[in-house]
Chains A and B, each alone.
Chain A
Amino acid sequence: MSVETLKIDGDEYIKTAQTEEIPEGRGIAIDVDGIEIAIFNADGEFYAISNRCSHQSAPMCKAGEEKINAEHTWTKTRGRVDAEDCSVTCPWHLWKWDLESGKNEASGQRIATFDVTVEDDSVFVRI
């Protein structure tokens, strides 16, 4: 993928996806020079956070994915993206990460978050 950039107040943002590529409640993952970043759509707001959960390295981008035979389960998705409390829950063991601060309350651990801006239906992330 060629790198498209955008400058905001002197900071460089890179284009990662079109908004329609990330459905509401779901995420995608990109690798930027070896850094894995997950980008989520939480009710129309886009957030970027490390794609690797610090617990056991689950790919966070799977949060919100439909479960196998989801119709026979209650919550239907593996982990989830929660727009109301601005969090993403890991698909493996459900650690909850704040999408703005990258913090998990229970462990006190923090993972990286990245600034996001949307321009002309493109999602840009500041690395």
Chain B
Amino acid sequence: MVSSIKRLDADEEVPEEAFDVDIVDLDFHVNPREEELRPYIEDERALDRLSTEFGMWPIPDKWDAAYAIDEGNEGLFTQGRAEVAEDVRRACERFAINEPVVNAGINGLPQQHHPVLKNAVLRAGNSYMLDHFVDEGVLTALSIPKWDVDYALEELNRWGDEDGVVAAYSWYDPREPWGVEEFDPVFERLESLGLPLLLHGSLAFWPQHSYVGDEMLTWTEVLGFDWPIHGMVNTVNMIMRGVFDRYPDLNVVFQEAGHWWLPFVRYRMDEFYEMHPEDIQITPRKFEDGEHYLEKAPSEYLRENIYMCTQPFALPRRAGEARDMLNLSMAADTFVYSSDWPHQTLDPATWFFTSRAFRDDQELRDRILHQNARDILRI
């Protein structure tokens, strides 16, 4: 015998408790359209080349996420397309996200061939974001190129101390990992500006550009494991090459690199380093500074300087297993929540309100949902 029936509020998509907790989202994409970016391209020559219809895309891609998804490449917009601040606010209301940190998400940029054109588009993207988001009070991560350190510094000089710019955004891939000394001026500037460096997976290097990748055919292999491997390689490279001894206040956030590999890297780095550390002294920074070893155990840099976005969380269903994974990952110090709106791997904060691992440990939940992010963003 039914005793009560009520119509549900269709606008709230996550559990009610989520609306009582501060949620900061470290990876929220907006997608300005090409015609909206074009007016922001400053250089006439670049604008001319970027506006000319040249026909077929010049680089054939063998693998495409579209094959895995019912809606093909529309998977990039499963939730819609935010173009202005109001769109972001509308989307966030449903998912109880209080503070989205938006980025222009031009993740195909590193793949392009011409540095001059890439720089022109990157700058146009930043100018667009300044006008449409920073000025509208939405916290924003602006992009810096990995392919041109001088230009990265120019961009940081242009907007680095703007209120509302809370982080710099760039990309990781296996070419020139971020531990390379060439990036030191960028780290120095970021440290002095108090901006963390957000590194997002890049379309610059899909596995098809490598031998093993040539045989990777599926979404699960490519998106599930390729970016995490790059994230791992970049993390270890930065730590072992002494980036954080030279820039101890630099914080680096990996986006879409997976996060459950932290226990593996944590213990393996320490084991290998402690077993045979004598090559540290001949890494360029240490060599130049006349230092012999790292100042701390490698895992301590992981805890103090590196952060992982959690999307998609993929939390074990059993609370005990989830707790163990979180502890081993030093999640209280390393995890930051991200939704990846509006992409196909969207991750609303549901896990934090349905798993007992978080119901029993609200402090940990709050660190991941907002505290860690607020500690490192320049808010």
Q: How far is the CB of A34 from chain B (nearest CB, A)?
A: 9
CB <8 Å contact, B4 and A32: yes
CB of A94, distance to nearest CB on chain B (Å): 5
Chain A positions within 8 Å of B175 at CB level: none
B13–A94 contact, CB under 8 A?
no
B8 touches which of A29, A58, A78 (Cβ 8 Å): A29
B183 at the interface (CB under 8 A from A): no
- In the bound complex, do residue A67 and residue B80 qualify as a contact, i.e. CB atoms below 8 Å apart? yes
Q: Check if B350 is an interface residue, CB within 8 A of chain A.
A: yes
B78 within 8 A of partner (CB): yes
Whether A70 sits at the interface, judged by CB under 8 Å, is yes
| Interface membership of A8, Cβ < 8 A | no
Task: Determine whether the beta carbon of A16 is less than 8 Å from that of B350.
Answer: no
Chain A 66-91, CB within 8 Å of chain B: the 1/0 string?
01111011110010000000000101
- Residues on the B chain within 8 Å of A94, using CB: 69-71, 75, 78, 344
Residue of B nearest to A95 (CB): B70
B10 touches A14 (CB 8 A): no
What residues of chain A lie closer than 8 Å to B346, measured between beta carbons? Answer: 92-93
Q: Which of A44-81 contact B (CB under 8 A)?
A: 51, 56-59, 61-62, 67-70, 72-75, 78
Can you list 28 pairs linking A and B with CB atoms under 8 Å apart?
A1-B4, A3-B3, A3-B4, A12-B1, A14-B2, A28-B8, A29-B10, A30-B6, A31-B4, A31-B5, A31-B6, A56-B348, A58-B348, A67-B77, A68-B79, A68-B82, A68-B87, A68-B90, A69-B87, A72-B83, A73-B77, A78-B79, A91-B79, A92-B346, A93-B345, A94-B75, A94-B78, A96-B70
The 8 Å CB contact of B81, one of A32, A57, A69, A96, is: A69
How near does chain A come to B71, taking the closest CB pair, in angstroms? 5
Tell me whether A33 is interfacial, beta carbon within 8 Å.
yes
Q: Which residues of A pack against B, CB within 8 Å?
A: 1, 3, 5, 12, 14, 16-17, 28-33, 36, 51, 56-59, 61-62, 67-70, 72-75, 78, 89, 91-94, 96, 127
Q: Tell me if A's interface is mostly helix, strand, loop or mixed.
A: mixed
Residues of B bordering A, CB below 8 Å: 1-8, 10, 13, 33, 69-72, 74-75, 77-83, 87, 90-91, 342, 344-348, 350-351, 354
Contacts of A33 in B (CB 8 A): 2-5
Residues of A within 8 A of B77 (CB): 67, 73-74
The answer to whether B10 and A28 touch across the interface, beta carbons within 8 angstroms, is yes
Q: Do A59 and B2 touch across chains, with their CB atoms under 8 A apart?
A: no
Q: How far is the CB of A101 from chain B (nearest CB, A)?
A: 18
Known A69-B87, A78-B79, A78-B80: A31·B8 in contact at CB below 8 Å: yes
* Interface pair B348/A127, CB less than 8 Å apart: no
